[in-house]
Every structure is written in structure tokens, then in C-alpha cells.
Chain A
Amino acid sequence: MNTLINGLCLGGIYALIALGYTMVYGIAKMLNFAHGDIIMVGAYTIFSTLALMGHPIPAVIVAVVVCTVLGLLTERVAYRPLRGASPLAVLITAIGVSYLLQSIAQLIYGSKSQSVSMGNLGSVTLFNNVSVSISSILTLGLCLIIMVALTLFVKKTKVGCAMLAVSEDRAAAQLMGINVNGIITLTFAIGSALAAFASTFYLMQIPSVTPTLGSMPGIKAFTAAVIGGIGSIPGAMIGGILLGVIEKFALSVPVLAPYTTAIEFGLLIVILLFRPTGLLGKKRREKV
């Protein structure tokens, strides 16, 4: 029972990160490999603001603002000049941005891990004497709220509809009067803000931060996005949660624990073998 809850929490975190990958891929048609490092920046921002103010809530707000601005900035400075360039050039740039962010963090904070205490919220005892930490409940609840809100935003608002249009056919979207650059910018902003929330929940689970903190959850979330079908928003949610639950269950079985990562990536391979576009991915329709 506890493993399930922990798995769902981790899955929620993966899902938030995976949403950033999948939305940027779907709309800007690029793999933003620096996305994981936005989480790291978010974590350091929380670390610093916490040291200054001592309360986690303003720290989270500052992190959301910093990450969003950083997302906008990288899009503007690094990726927008490459719009229309070969995907490989964009990918290499993204990897460059990733190293850049890691190096800057190392310069400022050093390479040693710093501990961040988000404060102990204690735990509650549910039925059957299962005790669950409040931070887990918070993580789960907030992840759920964020995902529902995002789904509603995309499905029910005009701008959300424009995002879907841009993701399907950029030229046709322009002919509707949609400012494609504006929509791409917005997508980066949303993805980065979600990353800031992911760093918050990450720190609630693992209270320490290093310059490479973003790499592993970044890669796992990317895997989750591909499992769910990259470009698909519900796919990222399902893929993230699936991966988180599998990870926690594998870790809880002593024989499997050392192979957890191998199991996760193995799952990716198996799913791609049977469904090359991921669980909810669509086949690319050829344009006339």
C-alpha cells in the first residue's frame, strides 16, 4: 500500500516533467534535453530562497517564476534562432544548454550536494494502520490538480485549442491568425513552470540538491513521455505514473531492486516494439 502511494507520488513527479517534454515536442517539434536541468535550477532556487526566507511557500513561488523566466529565455536565445534549422542542430543546442546550466550551478553552488529541508509535515494514519506522510498526500493531490487543470486548459480554452492546432499543422495555424511563436513561447513557459513544481515535490521526497540532480528524473520522465506516446498530453501523464509505480515496486522487491533502472528502460523497449508510437501516440499522417 505504501509502495503504491510512493510510486504514485514519484509517478506524479515524472508526469509533470514528462508533460514539459511532450508539450514542447508536440508544439515546437523539438526535444528539449535541457528540460531536466530546469528542475535542478528550480531546486537550487528553492534552496537559496529557503535560506533567505525560511518558509517553503515563497520559495516555491520564486522557483516557479525563475524556472518560467529561464524557460522563456532559453527558448528565445537558444532555440528560436534555430527555427527551421535541422532537428539535429536543435538537439545539440539543447544538450549545450543542459551542460551550460549544470556548469553555472556548479560555479555558484559547487559540486557537493546541499541539503534542503522543506520542513517535516508529519504523517497521518489511514485505515489498516497504514501511515502516509502528509508530503506524499500533498504531492499526489497537487499533481492531480495540476494535471486536471492543464487538461482543461488545453481542451476548453481558445489558446489551448490554438496549441493543439499549432502542434498539428503550423502553417494552417498561421492561416487562422495564430501567432505560432507566441504559442511556442507559452508552451515553454508552461513546461518550465511544471518543472518548478516537479522540483518542489522532488525535494519533498529527496531533500538534497546537486548540479546534476535534473539528469536522472529528466531521462526517466523523457522515457515516460515516450512510453505514453511523445506529443500526447494524457500519454505523458499515464507514462509518468506507470514508470513511477513500477520503479517503486521494483525497488521494494530485494531481488529486483538493483535492476530497477534496467527494468524501466526494458519496459520502454518492449512497449516501443509493440507500439512504436507509444501507448497513446498517433501515427503520423502524411500531409498532401
Chain B
Amino acid sequence: MALLEVENLAVSYGLIQAIKGISFEVNEGEIVALIGANGAGKTTTMHALCNLIPKQAGKVTFDGKDVTGVAAHKLVPMGIAQVPEGRRIFQELTVAENLRLGSYTRKNKKEIEESLEKMYERFPILKERSKQIAGTLSGGEQQMLAMSRALMSHPKLLLLDEPSMGLSPLYVNTIFDMIKQVNSEETTVLLVEQNAKKALAIADRAYVLEIGKIAKSGKGAELLEDDSIRRAYLGG
């Protein structure tokens, strides 16, 4: 049984149906990419998975439990963390406060401190800036913070919505390296990306979303070679 199973998910904004019944799954240990053009419905899918917006129809199973109607905040202790589109770090709080909010639902103080040390080890810049107001970090540093904050909940499944958005190539590489590293440490990843090339390169499997429907799916490496995908998403 897959870690995350989504069946016939549909989402509407008023009269407009943005997601028209999609099904996909993420197996334990995988990196699964969800790629698609602007407005395809990637963010809508991510928001609906965490019940930040209501689902019109469909069923979501996580870790063997039906989580279709479970409130967003209750999914965190169950093991789902999301780095939302645009990072959404708490601009007015310090770096350390942001990180600690990531572990809001955890109880064991010692383990929280250990996680924090781990985050600081991965990105020493965060330790250097721990007392700094997060809004003053650079875009790339904010993305590191957003990802580290999500990992502070020690999730089984990490949902990433366009982690490379607006970053320079150097930072994009850092972020993708981090995704691979986190995945190798037993965190399953569902990755939404505009940067299809990079996403497909690290993904075990991928789904292609086109205006609310899944148009294609397959192994990351295969889709990378697929002619229609190359033309539509990889620039030739």
C-alpha cells in the first residue's frame, strides 16, 4: 500500500473546477514529481491535500488512514509537512522562532533540540542568522528556512510546492541537493515544480498535470526522454 493515495480528487473555486478528478499515489521512500504549466492546478492540489481549501470530491489515504476530512493542523502530527508556494515563512519572527514553530506539535524537547541542531548543521547560515528577523533573509535563505521549518516536524511525507521558484541557479542546486539528501534519510517527497528538467531528473516517478487532469505519468527518467514532454515543458 502506498504512503499517500489520492483517488478522484476534485476541487472547485466557485463554478470553476480547477481539479477535475485526479488520482495518484506516492510510495514510501519515493520522490514523486507533479509537473505542469502555470495554472494547471498544482498548488490547488497541494492545498486540497492538506485541507487548506475544501475538496469537492475524492478520497485521500495517508499511511493507511483515511485523511480526506482531517483538519490541516492535525495532519502535521500524523506526518505530513508542506512547504507552501512562495515559502510563507513568518516574516516578522526570527529564524529560530520559525524553526521552532515547525516542531510545534512535537513533545520531546530533546529530540526537538536534536532536529534543530541538524537543521543548523545542514545550513550553517541559519544558525548564524538564528536571531535575525526572517523577513530580512534573502530569497534563497528564506527557502532554506522554509524547508528546514517543515522538516522540524519530522515528517514522513514532505510536500514541496515550487521550492526553486525565483532562485538563482546556485541556490536551485542547493535546494535540489537538499531534497535528495532528505529523501535518502527516509522522508518521502511529493515535489511540485516548474523546473521540470531538474524535477524529473531527481524524481523516481512523475505525473504531468494539464488543466486539472493528469495527462501523463511514468518514471522520471522516461518522461525526461518523452518527446511531447520535452516540447511542452523542457523547451525543445
Measured CB to CB, the residues of A under 8 A from B are 158, 161-162, 164-165, 168-169, 171-180, 282, 285, 287-288
Contact = CB atoms under 8 A, between A and B. Distances in A.
Contacts of A174: 50, 52, 71-73
Interface string B63-82: 00000000111111100011
B101 A161 contact: yes
Given A178-B73, A180-B73, A282 B104 contact: no
Contact of A177 (B86, B100, B105, B135): B105
Given A158-B104, A288-B85, A175 B76 contact: yes
Given A171-B84, A287-B86, A288-B86, A176 B91 contact: no
B90 interface: yes
B50 A175 contact: yes
A169 B100 CA distance: 16
Nearest to B149: A176
A162 B72 contact: no
Contacts of B82: 175
A80 to B, nearest CB: 14
Contacts of B102: 176
Q: Residue among B72, B92, B135, B149 with the most chain A CB within 10 A?
A: B72
B90 A172 contact: yes
A170 B128 CA distance: 28
Interface of B: 50, 52, 71-77, 81-82, 84-86, 88-93, 97, 100-102, 104-105, 135, 149-150, 153
* Chain A at the B interface: SS class: helix
Contacts of B81: 175
A176 B73 CA distance: 7
Given A177-B153, A179-B73, A169 B88 contact: yes
B70 to A, nearest CB: 12
Contacts of B50: 174-175
Nearest to A161: B97
Nearest to A288: B86
30 contacts: A162-B101, A162-B104, A164-B93, A165-B90, A165-B93, A165-B101, A168-B92, A169-B88, A171-B52, A172-B88, A172-B90, A173-B101, A174-B71, A174-B72, A175-B76, A175-B150, A176-B73, A176-B76, A176-B101, A177-B74, A177-B75, A177-B77, A177-B104, A177-B105, A177-B153, A178-B101, A179-B71, A282-B92, A285-B135, A288-B86
